[in-house]
Structure 1
Amino acid sequence: MDGVGEIEYEGLPPNAGLGVNMMAGALAGITEHAVMFPVDSIKTRMQVFATSPAAVYTGIGNAFTRISSTEGMRALWRGVSSVIMGAGPAHAVHFGAYEAVKEMMGGNVQGSQNQWIATSLAGACATVASDALMNPFDVIKQRMQVHESQFRSAFTCAQTVYRTEGLSAFYVSYPTTLTMTVPFTAVQFTVYEQIKSFLNPSGVYSPVTHIVSGGLAGAVAGAVTTPLDVAKTLLQTRGTSTDTEIRYASGMKDAFRIIWERDGLKGFARGLTPRVLTFMPSNALCWLSYEFFKAAIRTD
């Protein structure tokens, strides 16, 4: 073959090998997070319960204008180094586990009645493994994203958090993260596989199929799990808050209570728009990159 463009991606063995899947997942994860990072930064700031009026944003446009004019465009990229360091290994584990479990459960057998269960279970298993690795990097990222963050280095942020709050600060949100990402991933992978099969039943190479399927899957999963993401953000940024109640929130139950008491039902939708706008293109890009890199690595 003369180039990757001629490869019939879906003609490859569904389980192309653990090493191929992990490398493709790592490259896809880095690509996804780096491209969409500024929107993720806005989402984080909109979810934080700020005490200063200067840190309260009414929408994506308002946040973008104010942050770029008062702090500079670079502020929207603060914390990206932590994501890049964590996203590669975490996505490698994620996609490697996903493909391995899906194959083991018979999810790669076309027309199998077990396909929905296999893809959901594979996605859930992949999430448990990858989140254990990614959670500390996500804490560092969000500490660097908040308004008036003093951290400019991921390493310095990690040192400070560990010294002042201990190791538990990196994992206080892990149960909430799992509660959010297990259903997120199960929904995402299931929707992706079903839409991909519907749009491209012949299995021929079709980047458009990966983009549309990935984008819709990300939008649905992101919207459904936004309330849990608000709770996760509260827990991961609690150390930066001057509010005593938030600072000493010990878990998901405390986070939900604070959100409900402070903002009612609408509080659980904080950051919904930027979250969906982040996951729709980033998920589309992630799946497109994953399928591309998997095929490219497989045939080199």
Structure 2
Amino acid sequence: MADEPEYEALPPNAGMTVNMLAGALAGISEHAVMFPIDSIKTRMQVFSTSPVAVYSGVGNAFTRISSTEGVRALWRGVSSVVVGAGPAHAVHFGTLEAVKELAGGNEAGNQWLAHSLAGASATIASDALMNPFDVIKQRMQLHKSEFRSGLKCATTVYRTEGLSAFYVSYPTTLAISIPFNAIQYTVYEQVKRFMNPRNEYSPVSHITAGAIAGAVAAAVTTPLDVAKTILQTRGTSHEADIRSANGMMDALRIIWRRDGIKGFARGLTPRVMSTMPSTALCWLSYEFFKAAIRSDTL
């Protein structure tokens, strides 16, 4: 039987198809596993006038949602993420590897600038595809959401609010995602190289580097994530200032006016809790699928 190809002997860029397929599989794995925590984060970030929908923490939210709405409520909207995450992550990782190669990120040494450029470029491309699916997901995650189908949600939002509802948060999403992915990818590459200087297939280094990178990036970008949630769920609000918010600055002013500085940390704990394992799983899955697909094609 032929020997298995060594991970470190594989070419650093095995082609766009390999990177995109690995990215799609990794993205679906990442979002599906941690979806209930993401649902809690969304609810904690929304300004609600109903005491029933105000939660003091992750444990409190999980207990109350499970007891009053059932555990299935925490998974509402996951279909939208699964449908969107595959193509979006395929585009993300395909762009990531292509730009990294073009910018010299696969060369020896500390190529942090190339890694940051690759992460930012990948974000711009993938978020353009993913943003409408994210809007649908968050509308379905809300307390007493009327939607049980992603298609029904999409058609209703389009009919009542127009196409702009799916992209009103896109500039804010980019304002989050560009630094998030630049920070995440840079931290990931640096931690991975420190733990795994030979660039071997090492699940421990991939999962550890991914978790650290995700936690740092999530914490730094949480204030903008709160603003994004307000914009993406504005059509469900009964309050005039939220319904009329037209961009990131409007959302930031609403947060400051209603909750002060602490408002920018709404959902910080579940955001970090969901991002750490999901990012770790994403990078672990990506490195695994990339190595496995390469092995099959050699």
Shorter chain as denominator, the TM-score bin is over 0.9
Paired residue type of 1:282: S
How many angstroms apart in 1 are the aligned matches of 2:5 and 2:203?
11
Residues 235-257 of structure 1: per-residue CA shift (max 9 Å, x gap) = 00001111111011010010000
Q: Runs of 4+ in structure 1 displaced over 6 angstroms?
A: none
Residue among 169, 188, 192 paired with 1:173: 169
How many angstroms apart in 1 are the aligned matches of 2:207 and 2:81?
22
How many angstroms apart in 1 are the aligned matches of 2:274 and 2:186?
19
Where does 1:11-160 land on structure 2 (aligned, <5 Å)? 11-111=9-109, 113=110, 115-160=111-156
Q: Relative to 1, partners in 2 of residues 1:219 and 1:7: Cα closer, same or farther, differing over 3 Å?
A: farther
How many angstroms apart in 2 are the aligned matches of 1:230 and 1:46?
9
Q: Is the 8 A contact 2:201 2:287 kept in 1?
A: no
Residues 29-66 of structure 1: per-residue CA shift (max 9 Å, x gap) = 00000000000000000000001111000000000000
Residue among 259, 270, 273 paired with 2:269: 273
Residues 105-137 of structure 1: per-residue CA shift (max 9 Å, x gap) = 0000011x5x11100000000000000000000
Q: Is the 8 A contact 1:227 1:269 kept in 2?
A: yes
Q: Is the 8 A contact 1:7 1:295 kept in 2?
A: no
User: Size of the alignment, in residue pairs?
Assistant: 296
How many angstroms apart in 2 are the aligned matches of 1:251 and 1:2?
58
Could you tell me the TM-score, scaled by structure 1's length?
Answer: 0.97
How many angstroms apart in 2 are the aligned matches of 1:179 and 1:293?
30
Q: Is the 8 A contact 2:95 2:121 kept in 1?
A: yes
Q: Is the 8 A contact 2:84 2:133 kept in 1?
A: yes
SS of the equivalent of 2:56 reads coil
Paired residue type of 1:241: S
Q: Post-superposition shift, 1:2?
A: 7.5
The unaligned stretches of length 5 or more in structure 2 are: none
How many angstroms apart in 2 are the aligned matches of 1:289 and 1:7?
19
How many angstroms apart in 2 are the aligned matches of 1:142 and 1:32?
17
Q: Which residue of 2 aligns with 1:196?
A: 192
How many angstroms apart in 1 are the aligned matches of 2:9 and 2:184?
23
How many angstroms apart in 2 are the aligned matches of 1:204 and 1:91?
24
How many angstroms apart in 2 are the aligned matches of 1:8 and 1:144?
45
Aligned-CA RMSD value: 1.1
Where does 1:182-193 land on structure 2 (aligned, <5 Å)? 182-193=178-189
How many angstroms apart in 2 are the aligned matches of 1:255 and 1:277?
24
Q: Is the 8 A contact 1:7 1:205 kept in 2?
A: no
SS of the equivalent of 1:50 reads coil
Residues 165-193 of structure 1: per-residue CA shift (max 9 Å, x gap) = 00000000000000010000000000000
- Percent identical pairs in the alignment equals 77
